[in-house]
Amino acid sequence: MPTENNREDVLSFYTEIEESGGECIGFGNYKEYDLWLSGMQKRFAGKDLPEGYVRENFYLCYDKEILIGVFSLKFTLIQSLLNFGGHIGYAVRPSERNQGWAIQILKQGLTPAKQFNFDRVLCVCDEDNYGSEKVILKNGGVLENTLYDPDEKVVVKRYWIHL
């Protein structure tokens, strides 16, 4: 869970994501770190959440001193998450990609999921996100189906990982 101490690392992580032309989980209003942090704390507590948000644990993943990735575990599958979002989210900073980090991050993220008594978790990726699909498959994902997301105008693949 991020704290005040992670301010510079979080800013640098999301700036790198932004400069690479992307967005990812936890991006939000990261530039206003105090607001961002209080939003994350509310999600963690599952209290005072904006509509459409559910309780969520958000993890910063470090290799030594470097924030290499982020991981999130959501606790309730409201309809939009059941269809298109899933329980799990992750991202790796662009300069650290293709070194196996995402496979490790998801693997390690399954441990808290087990501790919170999940018996399976839903991972959803865009049909053409081959990297993410590989990460899910390497962690034992079993395809349930593909669905069209009319808001994002993409086809998604829905995988369950049994714990």
Nearest approach, Cβ of residue 45 and ligand COA (Å): 25
Contact between 72 and ligand COA per CB under 6 A: no
Nearest approach, Cβ of residue 99 and ligand COA (Å): 5
How far apart CA 132 and CA 86 sit, in angstroms, is 13
Of 41 and 129, nearer to ligand COA (C-beta) is 129
Of 43 and 158, nearer to ligand COA (C-beta) is 158
Only one of the segments 30-38, 108-116, 122-130, 139-147 lies at the binding site for ligand COA (rule: CB under 6 A); that segment is: 122-130
Of 58 and 101, nearer to ligand COA (C-beta) is 101
Largest CA distance in the chain: 41
How far apart CA 85 and CA 65 sit, in angstroms, is 30
How would DSSP label each residue in 58-102? EEEEEETTEEEEEEEEES---HHIIIIIBSEEEEE-GGG-SSSHH
Point out the residue whose Cβ comes nearest to ligand COA. 131
